[in-house]
Structure 1
């Protein structure tokens, strides 16, 4: 098959697609995880995409509650020769939901892991893959922190994602294989840390929750040695997003992963970066703009402490004596992030600054935040400026994103995060790395 495509395309770099552990399905269609048969484990478990994703169980004979009022359930389930006790919740007499399930022997090691992505955008992938009937550019392969990661996009990605966006639904879009660059085995906990690091980084980059799910670990002979079921934290598909990284800039995505994964996926490393990135996603995805402001400043204050005190730039005593605006300005100065306010971009903020005699952007966003959190009167001067809170969120979120990228040493491009928006014409270099190459499509 591959020889045929190589001859037709006059190209040797054509490969077979990865085989997913669970087949790609239609938009909103459940993924069947277990359907009886093995070791007498009757019953069915599926990951459903109706409304929010849920792990649902049906029809296990030993799951009947002791009393009609009982909601907790427990039953036995065997997979790949491993029997596990399943704890979940009962919704009806013979069906309900699960939160988490794992099948693995103690101290299990894997040779490679296959996982699946939900609602991952159509990231640029130059690698050519082919089936018997079709070929397309859909493979993205990179190495980071001793891992070789291969991601294959399904052939009908654009079609299913358009339908999923129309329905605010979910769909498996990519299959991923991870293995060590030296082809050595690794423990399951290392795989879990890697998958969580990928989830946080990719969600941070694209401004919404995107998840690798349903990992299956294999030994060198291709036998299943580990499997994990979870209800993923994932946002519905959208026709537009609000990320800082363009989906075609996979070189920049690799730069991000190279900077962040060694901290996020290494045993014993602090969770400071994870906290900052999670709040950066919440700063885009939370409901009201005031909620987004709260998430933004929670991460900014954590970041200021990390950069100024934990990195030994300031003493604890000096830090405590500084105002919130002074701390933010200090971080922005270190990262060469401008402090000024463009009246065209931020008309409400500019009017607020002029009215309150505020000198610059850091002081303005901190003052608006303080007046929201600790108003001086029941009718404080915030909402009288139409669009002020929204503009403050735009600017504070920009400060947060660029400060996180500065803190991890990222050198690449980012998409403009303040009005006017636009993917194609507003991709610029980070200010502290003017000599670094900009990632290209």
Structure 2
């Protein structure tokens, strides 16, 4: 990818180590990796820096938890160690199931994703906002901590993506974007999601609490809400502690489903921005078969 060759190999006693990690919640090396240039030329640690960062953020985004390429060592032409790094990178304990968009049994999908990610991380202009957006996405995708926190951080990630796609892309001026009377949050979110062909409908079998929330809004005021507007309303009810917050908690599971839909929207926006096309796990779905995937909607 992008002129680099990566060999990733599982350790021979992986099953025993993995089973132990799931019990102890500690840390261990599970794989080894060799990085070289595809043309066989030498390179410096500084030249490989963006690749290591891309692997850290990219693999974490794929799995929905922080994983890290730890303890890299540079080997010189004579086979001697000429560089090494002992930094403690952000890493979560092992999990038996992935919370992320990637199905770990599909290495081809991972390769397609990394083909878009690694060049982006080599571009300083793209890399910094991309790192922030993926950090938002990983934190929102992880199924740990208070669900309200995940909704909030996911909303921040969506705001970041909307600003990029609407203001930086020249669709709206800064003044127009900040005019919340005209361009409310759900209108902006709806516009960017429609731009990549993401469905705005609510699946009643997957998100029954959200469907009930929408039905009650229709009965109460005649409003027909879609996914973006429902997500925005629930997020606002959490931020502004008024009567609406009480109503939010009267529907069991509603905040959880708002989180599921938020992380689904954010993960798709990140994937599309990197040019990824192919299978992904729909993060708004928690019912169905393990490993079930669907094609990206813009494919």
TM-score scaled to structure 2, two decimals? 0.92
Larger radius of gyration: 1
Aligned partner of 1:352 in structure 2 is 213
The answer to whether the 8 Å contact 1:207/1:241 transfers is yes
Q: Which of 193, 201, 204 is the aligned partner of 1:343?
A: 204
Aligned partner of 2:47 in structure 1 is 190
Aligned partner of 1:287 in structure 2 is 145
Change (3 A) 1:160 1:288: same
CA displacement at 1:268 relative to structure 2: 5.0
Change (3 A) 1:242 1:353: same
Structure with the larger strand share: 1
1:416 aligns with 2:282: yes
Q: How far apart in 2 are the matches of 1:379 and 1:311?
A: 35
The answer to whether the 8 Å contact 2:116/2:274 transfers is yes
Secondary structure of residue in 2 paired with 1:211? coil
Change (3 A) 1:267 1:364: closer
Change (3 A) 1:249 1:379: closer
Aligned partner of 2:220 in structure 1 is none
The answer to whether the 8 Å contact 2:98/2:104 transfers is no
TM-score scaled to structure 1, two decimals? 0.63
Aligned partner of 1:312 in structure 2 is 170
Q: How far apart in 1 are the matches of 2:170 and 2:119?
A: 21
Alignment of 1:40-51 (within 5 A): none
1:299 aligns with 2:157: yes
Deviations 1:304-361 (A, max 9, x none): 1111221223333332231100010001101100001122221111111122234211
Secondary structure of residue in 1 paired with 2:89? coil
- Structure of greater relative contact order (alpha carbons < 8 Å, 6+ residues apart): 2
Q: How far apart in 1 are the matches of 2:124 and 2:113?
A: 19
Aligned partner of 2:26 in structure 1 is 169
Unaligned segments of structure 1, at least 5 residues: 1-143, 434-441
Unaligned segments of structure 2, at least 5 residues: 218-222
1:158 aligns with 2:15: yes
Structure with the larger helix share: 2
1:392 aligns with 2:258: yes
The answer to whether the 8 Å contact 2:50/2:118 transfers is no
Alignment of 1:344-383 (within 5 A): 344-356=205-217, 357-377=223-243, 380-383=246-249
Alignment of 1:3-42 (within 5 A): none
Figure out how many residues of one structure are paired with residues of the other and give that number: 289
CA displacement at 1:160 relative to structure 2: 1.2
Change (3 A) 1:187 1:290: same
Deviations 1:21-78 (A, max 9, x none): xxxxxxxxxxxxxxxxxxxxxxxxxxxxxxxxxxxxxxxxxxxxxxxxxxxxxxxxxx
Aligned partner of 1:325 in structure 2 is 186
Q: How far apart in 1 are the matches of 2:237 and 2:154?
A: 15
